[in-house]
Amino acid sequence: MRAALLAVARRVPSRVASASARGRDVATTAGAGTRDSPFDPAAEDAPVVDIAELQTGAVFTRRRAFTAHDVASFASLAGDHNPIHVDPDAATAAGFRDGPVVHGMLCASMFSAIIGTRFPGAVYATQSLA
């Protein structure tokens, strides 16, 4: 089971693209999917995959447009107030021409949704995934 899960997980595509800043979405990410995603209604009815159906090369998707509010909320939660994430002028001065960039861990949180809602079974603290 672990080998099949890892083989699929290694092939989940992910794309992150910045959009413009000031009041608009600051990033759009396509990657791991979730069936309880409020921003992807088509994902609402997506079933959990049966372990017997997992195959190498399977793709699970999730789409989300991050807003400036999402980034500010995450910055507050994580304590990461680096200006490149919350200040359009600072982000531009640092070389991010389209404005603030989404925290890497906020983007990575989308993968948690795939593992937690699409794959069968749990991964326990005592397990070794290799």
% of the chain residues with pLDDT over 90: 28
Asked whether residue 45 is assigned to any structural domain, the reply reads yes
Q: Do residues 109 and 34 touch, judged by C-beta distance below 8 A?
A: no
The total domain count for the chain is 1
Asked whether residue 67 is assigned to any structural domain, the reply reads yes
Mean pLDDT of 4-16: 36
pLDDT tens for 29-58 read 444 433 333 444 444 445 566 667 777 777
pTM: 0.52
* CATH classification of the domain holding 90: 3.10.129
Asked whether residue 16 is assigned to any structural domain, the reply reads yes
So what's the pLDDT on residue 130?
53
Q: Around Cβ 118, how many Cβ atoms within 10 Å?
A: 23
| Mean pLDDT computed over every residue of the chain | 68
Coil, helix or strand for 89? helix
Asked whether residue 49 is assigned to any structural domain, the reply reads yes
User: Residue-wise over 44-67: b if at least 16 C-beta within 10 A, else e?
Assistant: eebeebeeeebeeebebbbbbebe
Coil, helix or strand for 76? helix
